[in-house]
């Protein structure tokens, strides 16, 4: 419940700027669905908010943005959903980390200072934080321009226990692409190569990966894996093709202290 001057009003009826703002308004709110400000006809989107820490991502007030099924092509690298302002199955954005794909209006509406990205493989869920300031995920992904991040290689690999990457290249961030066509690329993640360049990278770990019909490296043609880990030709943990269920949360640019009485 949220205190207003003339009494209490249900938090379900308030439109918040983000899930973090809902938490700041009432530090005892629970995980669940909230109305979050968005560029839609209704001026909001009903979004699942994670109000407590996630494994690997501290704090609370995480705003769900996307869920990706690595076994499907909905959000492969060339999908129009990365470059348009159209939602996908928004009703499935009202649940937690299940196997229902979604893209919410917060993708193009919500500014953030940090992402929390996670992968679920065989019911094991791992998250890592990505610190980055942007007006929205759309702003940094839609145009296809590369934006780098600085995250330890082993931190990326912790998303999938037993993952494999080739030892060289290590290009990471947003819109990560090998120079040569038909080689590794991801919208968010890291790529590797067995050679001392990123020209012909044959491994990736990340989200929004290369389309199956564009893969042409190391006998990996026509394999669908839009989210997860793929490694061939000298990966540090052997050849891998692991598909994951993924979730992406945003944290807006606000510093707060959580107190619940």
Does pLDDT of 258 surpass 50? no
CB 31 within 8 A of CB 49: yes
Place of tokens 């998303």: 159
pLDDT tens string 61-103: 999 999 999 999 999 999 999 999 999 999 999 988 788 999 9
Mapping DSSP to helix (H, G, I), strand (E, B) and coil, where does residue 21 land?
A: helix
pTM, whole model, 2 decimals?
0.90
CB 70 within 8 A of CB 244: yes
Provide the residue ranges of all domains of the chain, joining segments of one domain with +: 19-71+80-145+246-251, 153-243
Which residues, in sequence order, are bridge partners of residue 128? 117
> Where does the pLDDT of residue 190 fall: very low under 50, low under 70, confident under 90, or very high at 90 and above?
very high
Specify the pLDDT at position 94. Answer: 92
Does pLDDT of 208 surpass 50? yes
Specify the pLDDT at position 106. Answer: 93
Mean pLDDT to the nearest integer, 9-28 = 82
Residue spans of alpha helices (H) in 151-257: 153-157
Long-range contacts of 127-131 (CB under 8 A, 24+ apart): 127/54, 127/55, 127/56, 127/57, 127/159, 128/56, 128/57, 128/155, 128/156, 128/158, 128/159, 129/56, 129/57, 129/58, 130/188
């Amino acid at each position: 419940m949220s205190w207003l001057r003339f009494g209490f009003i249900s938090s379900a009826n308030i439109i918040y700027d983000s899930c973090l703002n809902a938490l700041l308004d009432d530090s005892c709110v629970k995980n669940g669905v909230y109305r979050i400000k968005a560029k839609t006809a209704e001026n909001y989107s009903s979004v699942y908010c994670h109000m407590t820490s996630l494994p690997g991502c501290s704090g609370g007030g995480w705003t769900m943005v996307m869920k990706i099924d690595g076994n499907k092509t909905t959000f492969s690298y060339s999908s129009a959903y990365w470059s348009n302002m159209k939602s996908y199955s928004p009703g499935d954005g009202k649940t937690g980390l299940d196997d229902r794909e979604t893209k919410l209006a917060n993708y193009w509406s919500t500014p953030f200072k940090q992402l929390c990205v996670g992968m679920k493989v065989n019911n094991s869920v791992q998250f890592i934080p990505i610190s980055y300031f942007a007006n929205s995920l759309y702003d940094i992904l839609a145009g296809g321009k590369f934006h780098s991040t600085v995250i330890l290689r082993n931190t990326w690999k912790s998303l999938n226990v037993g993952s494999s990457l080739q030892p060289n290249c290590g290009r990471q961030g947003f819109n990560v692409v090998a120079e040569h066509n038909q080689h590794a690329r991801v919208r968010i993640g890291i790529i590797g190569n067995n050679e001392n360049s990123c020209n012909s990278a044959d491994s990736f770990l990340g989200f929004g990966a290369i389309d199956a019909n564009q893969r042409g490296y190391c006998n990996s043609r026509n394999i669908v894996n839009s989210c997860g880990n793929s490694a061939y030709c000298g990966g540090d943990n052997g050849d891998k093709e692991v598909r994951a269920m993924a979730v992406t949360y945003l944290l807006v640019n606000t510093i707060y202290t959580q107190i619940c009485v």
